[in-house]
Structure 1
Amino acid sequence: MATLGSLLAVNAQRHPDRPALIFEGAEVTERSYVELDREVNQYANALLSLGVSKGDRVAVLSPNSDRFVLAIYGAFKIGAIVTPFNPRSTARELAYLLEDSGAAVLLFADATAAAVRGLAGLEAPAGGAAMPAEAAAAPAAQLLALDGADGFPDFHALAATMPSDAPRVDVSEDDDCMIIYTSGTTGQPKGALFDHHRLLWVGNGMAALGVSSFDRNLHVAPMYHCAELVLFVLSGFSMGTTHVVLPAFEPAAVLDALERHRISVFLGVPTMYQLMLTVPGIEQRDLSSWRLGFFGAAPMPATAVEKLVATLPSVGFMQLCGPTEGGPSGIYSTPEEVAARPDATGRWSTVNCEVRLVNEAGEDVAVGVTGEIILRGEAIMKGYWNKPEATAEAIRDGWLHTGDLAVRDADGFITVVDRLKDMIITGGRNVYSVEVENALAGHPAVQDVAIVSREHDTFGETIVAVVTLAPGAAATLEGLREHGAEYLADYKLPRELVFRDIPRNASGKILKHVLRSEIREAAAAL
C-alpha cells in the first residue's frame, strides 16, 4: 500500500532528475527527487539511531525551510507520527504541545532556539499533580537542532553521517502519520490525528482540482499549517511536482519568485493577496506561468476578491474552505464561480467529501436558512489525540461538526457567515460577525476589521468593531455605522469602536477569543 514516504521514493525512481525542492534561504539550495529521497533516508536513519520507533511522535518546530521537509519525510519513512508546531510558539506553549503529544524528540530550527531554551526554565508541578492550563513543565523530549543551534545536538550533522538507503521499517497506509494541532482560535489547541490513507486522499482531491505532477508550486504560507502542508506540500510531493520554498512572506519577494521560478500553483491566505496587490507595477509582472491561485483559511472580502480577479485576469483563482479536522476537505469554488460570486465561500464539496448544512437537531436546513456545516469523507480526522470526549462531540454518526455556520442559496452557493461560538445574540436577534466585517471592510479608512461582542445588561450582548486603520486614515463610530447602514439592518451595526491591530493566527483567522477577553476586561475595569 502507498504511504507518504513510499510515494516520495516512487517519484525518485520515476523522474530522478526533476527538481524536487528549491529553498531560497540565506543560500539557494536545490535537490532533485533522487537527491531529496536519499537525504530523507539519512534523516530517517538518524531518527532510528536515536531510538525513535514506529508510532513515536516527532515534533518539528521550524519556519518554512528545506530541513522542515527533510524532517517530516524522515519521520514518515520510519512510521513515526509527525507533529508540526507553530514556530512562533512561546516556551510555555511548546511545553503544552510537547506534553500533550508525548513527543519523543523535538527537531527545531535556530530561529526558534530562544523558545526551546526557555523550556529549561519551566518547573514541573509539585507532587506529580496535573499541569494546569496556565502552567507548564519542562518536556521529556530530546531537543535536537536542525541547523546547529548552540548548546544542542546537531541533528542535521548527525543525519549527514547516516546511510542513504531506505530504512527497513514496515509502514502501511493505515498507520498513523500526523497530529496537526488546531489553531486555538477559541482556546487551547487540540491535536487532530491522521493516517497515511486520509492524507493521500487529500492529494486525490487536489488532482481533481487541476494540480498535476508537471506543476511548479510556491510555498510561502506557513508549512506547519494544515492548508499549506497537506494540500500543497504533501500532495505535491506525492504527485511529483517541483516545490519552491520561501522562508517568510514579503509581498514583492513573492512576486519575484513567481516570475523567476515560473510558478504555476500558489496558495495564499487573504491577507497575503491583499498585500501583494499593493506592490507597485504588479500588472506589468510576467506571471504568464501562474495558472492556479488558491485562497482560503479565512474570509476574504468580496471587494478584495474582485480586485484580485481584475488585476490578474490570466490566473484562475479558486476558493477553498475546510477545517483542520477535515483533512482539510470541505467546499470550493471554481475560477468562474469565484469571478461570478466573490461573496460566496464555495459551491461544491471536494471529491472525497459530503457536505450538509444542519440545524441543532441534525436536520438539513432549507435554502436560505443558516445551518452548521458538517462533513463526511475519506480525509476526516480519526479523532483528537488523547481526547475521546472532544472527539465524540466533534464526530457524530460519522459526520464532523465543524462549528462553521453557513447559508446555501438557490444556486447552490454556500456562504460561511460565522463560527458557531462567534455568533452574537443582541436583543434576541442573531448577528453573524463575518457579515458585519464584510460590510465594514469596504470603508476606505479600514485596513482590517473584526467584529466581537461584550456583555450588555439590556441586550445580552452588544456589538464591538475592532478596526486597524489604513495608513494616514481616520474613522469614527458614526462614520462606520453610516457606511454599514447601506448593507445591514440597524441592529447589526456596531455600538462601540476600538482601534488596534487585529490578532490573527498563521492561517489568517482572527483570534476573537483574544479580542473578546481584552474588551471585556477593559469594560470591567471602568
Structure 2
Amino acid sequence: MSLAVVGVPAGAGWLQGERVMHRCGGILHYDDLEPCLAELLDRSALRYSNRVAAVDGDGRAVTYRDLWTEAAKVAGGLLDQGVGPADRVLVHHRNGFEWLHAFLGVVLAGGVPVLPDPTCSDTEIDWMAFDSGAVLILDGPLPEGVPFLDGGASPDELALLYYVRGYGGDLRGVELTNTNVLSTVEAVGHAMDLVNEPGRTVITAPLCTAVGCSVQLLPTLAFGGTVVAAGARGTRVPWRHLRASFPASRCIRGWGVAETGGIGLLLPSEHRRRHPRSVGVPFGGIEVALLGPEAEEGRGELLCRGPSVARGYWNNPAATAEMFDDGWFRTGDQVSIDAAGFVNPVAVRVS
C-alpha cells in the first residue's frame, strides 16, 4: 500500500520514554525490558510485597504477597491439570479477585491467557476455545496445587491472545508477544509517571480487554500501585462521570485497540481544553501514518506501528494480510492530524 507518513512534531516528545532507543526493522523498540511478563510481575510482587495490590467492589483488599500466593497456587493447579509452557487457557471470569487469580495463575504457569471479547455468547466462547487451541476454560472454581512459577519465556513468544470483533462482527485473536505487552507497560508507566506516583487505578473497562488488562491493570501492578476492580464484567464510564466521581484524580483521554497493544494516542486532561476534539498524540514509540487520497493534506485512514503493535491475528492469515503490512496496522479509523501533531477523529472505533 502507498503511505504518506505523518511525523509527530518534537513538541509532542513529552510523552516519549527515554528508553525508546533504537529501531529494529524500521520500528522503534525499548531497550532493557524484562524478558517476559511473568518475570516482570514476579519481580514486582517481591518488591512491593506488603503493599495493597487490589481492592474489589466490596472494599476487600489484598496485598501483593497474598495475590501472588493465590495466583501461584492456581498455577500449580494448572500444572497438575497438564497445562504447560505456551499452552493457551481461556479466562472467563467477572472483574474481581477470581479473574486476577485466574489470569495471573495462567501467566505464572507459563501459559498464554486467552481473553474473550466481553460481548461474546457462550457459543462464541466455545468457538474461541476451539480456534485458539485452548487446553482449558477457566469459568468456575479455580484449580489449586503446590505454588508454582514457570521459569519464563522469551521476548518474542506469545504472551496474550485477545479476541476482538472485526468490522463485520467476526472474532479475531490478536497475538501480543511479551515484547508487545511489556512495551505497553513501559509506555503507560512513563506517560503516567507511575514510577514516582503509582497510586490507585480504577478499572473502567472489562479486564478481558486490552484497555482493562494491558493499559490499566498490568502497568499498575508492575509499578506497585493498587487496582480497584468492580465486580461486573465492566462497562464504559462517561468522562464527565469519572471527573465528578474522582475530582482529585488524573483523567486521561486516549485511543488504542488490542492490535496496538491497547495504546496509541494519549491526551492528558491539561491539553483537553486547547484540543477538545483530539484523542491525543502518539506515545510509547508509536508512529502514525495516513492512507488515502487526502493523506498529504493530513487526512485519511490512521495507521500505526511501534513496539506494542501486534504481529497479526491468530490462525487467520487472510485477516493478517489485510490489516498488517510491513509493521503497519490499518486501524480503519478516519482521522485528521493538525500542525501540532494532535490526532482528531473523523470516524474511529475504540476497543
Q: Same fold (TM over 0.5)?
A: yes
Q: Which secondary structure does the structure 2 equivalent of 1:228 belong to?
A: helix
**Aligned with 1:163 (options 146, 150, 153):** 146
Once the two structures are superposed, residues 99-146 of structure 1 have per-residue CA deviations (whole angstroms, 9 ceiling, x without a partner) of 2212111111xxxxxxxxxxxxxxxxxxxxxxxxxxxxxxxxxxxx13
Alignment of 1:354 onto 2:257: no
Unaligned runs of 5+ in 1: 109-144, 147-154, 251-267, 295-318, 420-433, 435-506, 510-526
Counterpart mapping for 1:434-445 below 5 A = none
Cross-structure match for 1:193: 175
Rate the CA distance shift 1:69–1:408 in 2: closer, same or farther, 3 A.
same
**Aligned with 1:15 (options 42, 48, 56):** 48
Cross-structure match for 2:296: 366
**Aligned with 1:38 (options 48, 69, 73):** 69
Rate the CA distance shift 1:249–1:396 in 2: closer, same or farther, 3 A.
closer
Q: TM-score, normalising length from structure 2?
A: 0.82
Rate the CA distance shift 1:57–1:246 in 2: closer, same or farther, 3 A.
same
Cross-structure match for 2:260: 326
> How many residues are treated as equivalent by the alignment?
316
CA contact (8 A) 1:62 1:86 kept: no
Alignment of 1:341 onto 2:279: no
Cross-structure match for 1:98: 129
Once the two structures are superposed, residues 198-235 of structure 1 have per-residue CA deviations (whole angstroms, 9 ceiling, x without a partner) of 10100111122124153111113211111111101112
Once the two structures are superposed, residues 183-208 of structure 1 have per-residue CA deviations (whole angstroms, 9 ceiling, x without a partner) of 34432111100111110100111122
- CA positional deviation for 1:243: 1.3
Unaligned runs of 5+ in 2: 1-33
CA contact (8 A) 2:95 2:232 kept: yes
Amino acid at match of 2:251: G
CA contact (8 A) 2:207 2:233 kept: no
Higher helix share: 1
Task: Provide the rounded CA distance (Å) in 2 between the counterparts of 1:106 and 1:353.
Answer: 34
**Aligned with 1:381 (options 310, 314, 319):** 310
CA contact (8 A) 1:61 1:87 kept: no
Cross-structure match for 1:398: 327
Q: Which secondary structure does the structure 1 equivalent of 2:149 belong to?
A: coil
Say which one has the larger Rg. 1
Cross-structure match for 2:239: 273
RMSD: 2.4
Once the two structures are superposed, residues 363-422 of structure 1 have per-residue CA deviations (whole angstroms, 9 ceiling, x without a partner) of x8234x421111111111121001112112211122111111111223332212125xxx
Q: TM-score, normalising length from structure 1?
A: 0.56
CA contact (8 A) 1:220 1:247 kept: no
Alignment of 1:76 onto 2:107: yes
CA contact (8 A) 1:177 1:195 kept: yes
Q: Which secondary structure does the structure 2 equivalent of 1:31 belong to?
A: strand
Cross-structure match for 2:20: none
Q: Which secondary structure does the structure 2 equivalent of 1:233 belong to?
A: helix
- CA positional deviation for 1:96: 2.1
Task: Provide the rounded CA distance (Å) in 2 between the counterparts of 1:8 and 1:372.
Answer: 36
Amino acid at match of 1:96: W
Amino acid at match of 2:125: L
Rate the CA distance shift 1:274–1:337 in 2: closer, same or farther, 3 A.
closer
> What's the % identity of the aligned pairs?
25
After alignment, is 381-390 or 80-89 more displaced?
80-89
